[in-house]
Amino acid sequence: MNIRIGTRKSKLAQIQTDYIISRLKEKYDFDFEKVLIQTEGDSRLDVTLDKIGGKGLFIKEIEFALLHGDIEGAVHSMKDVPYEVGDSFKIAAMPIREDVRDAFVSMNGVPFEALPKGAKVGTSSIRRSAQLKLMRPDLNIVPIRGNVETRISKIQKENLDGIILAAAGLKRLGMEEIITNYFDPFEFVPAVGQGALGVEILKETEYREVFESLDNKEVRLCVEAERSFMRRLNGGCHSLIGAYGVLQGEDLYMVGTFEVGNHIVKKDILGKKEEHLRLGELLAEKILKGAL
């Protein structure tokens, strides 16, 4: 039996898919094939995501392949998955979550706090840009897009003092040593689902149980709480939004940030983990009230 698993073409996406395939091979004596798919988000690097439709651009062509039977499963970074998944699809598993933090990669090893006034820092993320400006209003934010290796190469090409990347991607690529600083996720709030992998399938697939066997309930609980927060705020690439949930015994603690009007509001919440979806909604409402 051959089960085909689709993914983006980047080195990081392939490493993530290889990890999922290795986990599946531990459980099942099937053949698993990696299928590389070019997405619009990867093709159009000349403009920022919010100008061309947001993060769904990283999964649309992959979902098309699922619908047309070209693949049986797909591997995504959960931070690229919009909060509304189409009726035909299901996130069957969230097997693992790597380091959720954002990381600063410096030109010459100069730490973030020692950057000179007016330093040029690269990122195309609205969330990262806004939080950087809160910490250092003097910074010159330069938009950069592309895969991890492309963005790193732009440090020298565009004479940047540094760039902001997800620590998870750098660690999965074996590039942890180039990280100059990590940002505290409770202060510099990560993207919703940052660091988590998701396996998407068609709801009606005969392989549902195969993929669902990889699910990590603790990862899912935290990511679903964050996605509930995002859904309530109708957040995405067009807005400044971030959330991070972590289990504390039987409780879930979550911090979230969102821009309401011209105000960046950050709040937190603590509650029973069984009520994780409601906690996400309550945190969103707390932020909306806090902006009044």
Q: Please report which helix (H) or strand (E) contains residue 255, including its range.
A: strand 251-260
Domains of the chain in start order, with CATH, are 1-96+196-215 (3.40.190.10), 102-182 (3.40.190.10), 216-292 (3.30.160.40)
| pLDDT at residue 129, rounded to an integer | 95
Query: Containing H/E element for 279?
Result: helix 276-290
The residue from 29, 50, 80, 87 that is catalytic is 80
Asked if 80 is an active-site residue, the reply is yes
* 162-166 and 120-122 strand pairing: parallel
CA 199 from chain centre, in angstroms, equals: 14
Q: Which residues pair with 181 in a beta bridge?
A: 104
Residue of 78, 99, 68 whose CA lies nearest to 20: 78
Hey, what's the torsion of the CAs at 90, 185, 20, 179, to 10 degrees? 150
pLDDT by residue (tens digit) across 173-217? Answer: 999 999 999 999 999 999 999 999 999 999 999 999 999 999 999
For the chain, the helix, strand and coil percentages under 3-state DSSP, each to the nearest 5: 40, 25, 35
pTM attached to this predicted model = 0.91
Copy the structure tokens of residue 258. Answer: 């969102």
Residue 290: pLDDT over 90? no
Cα Rg for the chain, rounded, in angstroms?
19
Q: pLDDT grade, residue 73 (50/70/90)?
A: very high
75 sits in which H/E element: strand 73-77
115 contacts 161 by C-beta, under 8 angstroms: yes
